[in-house]
Structure 1
Amino acid sequence: MTTFFAGFSLGLSLILAIGSQNAFVLKQGIKRQHVLLVCAICAISDAILISLGIAGFGMVVSKYPSIEMYARYGGAAFLLVYSFLSFKSAFSQRHALTTDTEVQSSALKIASICLAFTWLNPHVYLDTMVLLGSISTQYEGQQLEFALGAIIASFTFFFSLGYGARLLAPVFENPKAWQVLEFIVGLTMLIIALTLLFG
């Protein structure tokens, strides 16, 4: 049980910081747009990456550092585009909670953006595959328990963030609140993109 909690606490601490993926989940939760889909994509993706990392794929990334380089530049390009779109949205006046019809028609788009935030983010690979993968070696014979702890932490975090965000929905009935959120999201994406390029 100690190994499970070690995996849980470490997994939770790695995803707790507000990054590009978390900002997107928060935004979708406030909008109530495909929250289940977004949370499931993030958590299942984490589960896959954690499993691969603990199974030893972290060593592959270490052996072929070009994988990390491609992920870094691809992720930075995606974040810069999304940052521009967020800033553009922040300075427009058309802000309101989206209707059910619009939500239904954008499921594929939301899923695609969510997958990009997850799989084009090199920090995800470093955290889940390299860091968790290497730390799991300390728990020889108990790596499955460690992995389950980290995976459950990921599911707990993303579903809490996605569904907890709806408590803020009344605040975002005000269009100006959306503009502030879009600006903060855009700034977050821009900072992370610049960190990937120059950090």
Structure 2
Amino acid sequence: MVIGAQNAFVIRQGIRRDKVTLVVAICALSDMVLVVVATAGIGALVAQWPSAMTVLRFTGAAFLLCYGMFAAWRAYRPSTVNLSVATGGTTVVLTCLALTWLNPHVHLDLLMLGSVANSWGADKWWFGVGSAIGSWLWFGGIGYGSRSLADVLARPAVWRGMDAVVAVVMVTIAVSLVAR
């Protein structure tokens, strides 16, 4: 459970106490869709079109690199971080969808989850149900947990450190995706 771009966004929204339910719902519902697709056998589709993973890898790397650079900028210039200002609903939805659906680790997790689910044979859908429940618990936990701990997590030094860690992780993942 790495705190990547999507999870950092959920935490940020929780700290801001801004549209937490919407963000948790988008992330968990997206995960449910991905679990269904993975459990249904996405691996067979990718096996027929292997260049899809290459396209996803480079697109995801560019996206993560940009996101990492923005996080580095926020860590370097903490005055640009204003956790108390609410963001428009459209911006929150589009950012959350981008961080979910353009994230290359989501697609790699999709393949892994699909292979594990399919190893359960006829019970693969029970595995999928468990994965979907786990998504709701995870996103609800980090969204509402960060909202509950906002007073501690919103301290400039804490958030600046989180932004620095997110920047390093995102840039490292982006570089590793391109270097493959």
Asked whether the two chains share a fold, i.e. TM above 0.5, the reply is yes
Counterpart for residue 80 of structure 1: 65
Matches within 5 A, 1:50-129: 50-92=35-77, 93-99=79-85, 102-103=86-87, 106-128=88-110
Give the Å deviation of 1:190: 1.2
Runs of 5+ consecutive residues of structure 1 not aligned to the other structure: 1-15
| Number of equivalenced pairs | 179
Give the Å deviation of 1:172: 4.2
Give the Å deviation of 1:75: 1.0
Per-residue CA deviations over 1:87-116 (Å, capped at 9, x if unaligned) read 2222222434323xx33xx22112212211
Deviates more, 1:58-67 or 1:17-26: 17-26
2:148 aligned with 1:167, yes or no?
yes
Give the Å deviation of 1:50: 1.1
* Secondary structure, counterpart of 1:98 in structure 2: coil
- What is the TM-score normalised by the length of structure 1? 0.81
- Report the RMSD for the aligned CA atoms in angstroms: 1.9
Deviates more, 1:162-171 or 1:145-154: 162-171
Match of 1:41 among 2, 21, 26: 26
- What is the TM-score normalised by the length of structure 2? 0.88
- Cα distance between partner residues in 2 of 1:175 and 1:126: 33
CA 1:180–1:135 in 2, change beyond 3 Å: closer, same or farther? Answer: closer
For residue 37 of structure 1, what is the amino acid of its counterpart? L
Whether the aligned pair in 2 keeps the contact of 1:52 and 1:58 (CA below 8 Å) is: no
Runs of 5+ consecutive residues of structure 2 not aligned to the other structure: none
For residue 108 of structure 1, what is the amino acid of its counterpart? T
For residue 73 of structure 1, what is the amino acid of its counterpart? F
Counterpart for residue 16 of structure 2: 31
Counterpart for residue 193 of structure 1: 174
Whether the aligned pair in 1 keeps the contact of 2:117 and 2:125 (CA below 8 Å) is: no
Whether the aligned pair in 2 keeps the contact of 1:86 and 1:186 (CA below 8 Å) is: yes
- Cα distance between partner residues in 1 of 2:75 and 2:92: 19
* Secondary structure, counterpart of 2:119 in structure 1: helix
